[in-house]
Amino acid sequence: MIKLFLVSLWPIWSHRNKRVHENVSQSPTDLASYIVNYIHEFDATIDSQVSAPAHAPSTQYYSDFEGFILAASSVPHLHILTPKIAEAVACKQEMSLALELDFQKVIVEGDALSVIKKISVPSIDMLDTFALVSNIKETSKDFVALSFCHVNRRRNEAAHLLAREGRRFNFRRVWIEEAPKVVEVAVQKDCWWVDLRD
């Protein structure tokens, strides 16, 4: 009962602000449905918590249109609790390295649809990834062109192979114009980051 009360406060306050400041109203049924769906998603997130290895990495690679590796990296993280948070952390790390390498025109491909949707829409997220998604949206302003695209997990094989390789390191590892051989082979099949042509 306490969870229902606490979870209900934010949507009710948000609804009130929209009604007062934007003259947008939502029916009580829609508001109740939103709260119930939020609780179900919250419970599912808690239930899906994973016990991550001590240095589960976020990994990324950057390739051109021909599949040539421009850079790759692996950054270890301690105890990321959910797959959504892991995907959002990886996205933030990818953007940071892209800016370090001065990649200004980038397409981000990821296999976590809910994270890609949250980043792509201008709405406010109240779930576990709120701070990360907000930071990603703010950082995206530093690029000339940046877009986010969902890809099937099977098309994201190179990223998962790089994560497997990254578990061998308990420090940040960056490869320039190369990557572990198994990743280079897989990149020919799928590209996760692409520096757009002018």
pLDDT tens digit sequence for 70-89: 899 988 877 776 778 888 88
Q: Do 83 and 174 fall into the same domain?
A: yes
Q: Do 171 and 81 fall into the same domain?
A: yes
In 3D space, the residue among 139, 137, 105, 111 whose CA is nearest the CA of residue 122 turns out to be 137
Domain range for residue 90?
56-195
pTM above 0.75, yes or no: no
- More confident call, 129 vs 138: 138
> To which residue do tokens 């934010």 refer?
10
The reported pLDDT for the residue numbered 193 is 44
Q: Do 14 and 102 fall into the same domain?
A: no
| Total number of domains in the chain | 2
CA dihedral sign, ordered 39, 42, 44, 47: negative
Q: Do 62 and 144 fall into the same domain?
A: yes
Residue 126 has pLDDT above 90, yes or no: no
Residue 56 · residue 85 · CB < 8 Å: no
User: How many Å separate Cα 73 from the centre of its chain?
Assistant: 16
Task: In whole angstroms, give the CA distance from residue 111 to residue 83.
Answer: 11
Structure tokens at 190: 């799928």
